[in-house]
Amino acid sequence: MSQWISWNGNLCKQDLQTSLLQDQGFLLGDGVFETLRIHKQNILFAQDHWQRLFDSAHYFSLNFPYSLDFILQQSHQIIAKNQTEEGILRWTLSRGRPSQRLALQSEQTQLLMQTSSLPAKPQTWKLGFCSWSRSADCPLFRHKTLSYLENLKALNEGRTKQFDEVIFCSENQILLEGTRSHLFWVKNHKVYTPSLQLAILQGITRKQVIDQLHSQDIEVVETVATKSELLTAESIFMTNSLWGVIPVSHLEHKKVMTPFFMASLLKTHAR
């Protein structure tokens, strides 16, 4: 059955082939997106996601004239139409048809909002490392762009080795982030996570978790650390917007412990 979507502010059935043929977002990955969690028909952290989408649109010179109120109104309409009690909401902003070929301007950007089902949350993840290095300072990695092929390739290569997620590192073995998550590890009763000074996404659940740990008087260190430091971690966990907090049971097939505070994190971020 066709799903309802919001396309440039209009509710319609999902049939966009004609529009996509001239859309630079579809043809070249020229656009940005946000993936949000729907819980009991509510959109979690919508304002934070809207702000990140707004900031990314500004950075890439993508016209984004949509207020938070408008985005939420459209989103709740398609959630109701699709009867989505629990699931995923995605906002996609693409360049559309540029005024000239390969230009960073267009007459009108295209905004797509759609819902989908949510895969079951994993109890734990087995974690590995990406087989190639990634830049630690390329600014594009601070945004969720439609150019997502590297993440897909790394994740699927990891799955062939029985990993659920893989971590990107720089040429100097500096820890960055996962293909779809943020990294935390515990050592000597302190929690560490890669610094936002590196070229990583400013994670929304990442920030929520850091704030919660601070409220529990647990020290969180945002750091520039190497792969070797993770290999000696006492415990590891990951965060993302869809599942909240995911404990890591194995790193490169080596078993790791569960953090002493994990029960409270899982309870707060149960989704």
Region 224-232: what's the mean pLDDT?
97
What the block records as the tokens of 10 is: 């209009």
Neighbours of 11 (CB within 10 A): 13
pLDDT > 60? residue 17: no
- The pTM is what? 0.89
In the chain, % of residues over pLDDT 90: 77
pLDDT at 264: 74
Closest CA to 203 of 120, 134, 143: 143
Spatial separation of the C-alpha atoms in residues 176 and 152, rounded to whole Å: 16
Spatial separation of the C-alpha atoms in residues 117 and 119, rounded to whole Å: 7
For 106-129, the pLDDT digits (tens) are: 668 999 999 999 999 999 999 999
Region 258-270: what's the mean pLDDT?
73
Spatial separation of the C-alpha atoms in residues 14 and 52, rounded to whole Å: 26
Region 155-178: what's the mean pLDDT?
98
pLDDT at 35: 98
216 Rama class: left (phi>0) / alpha (psi -120 to 50) / beta? alpha
Residue with tokens 């000597």: 188
3-class SS of residue 63: coil
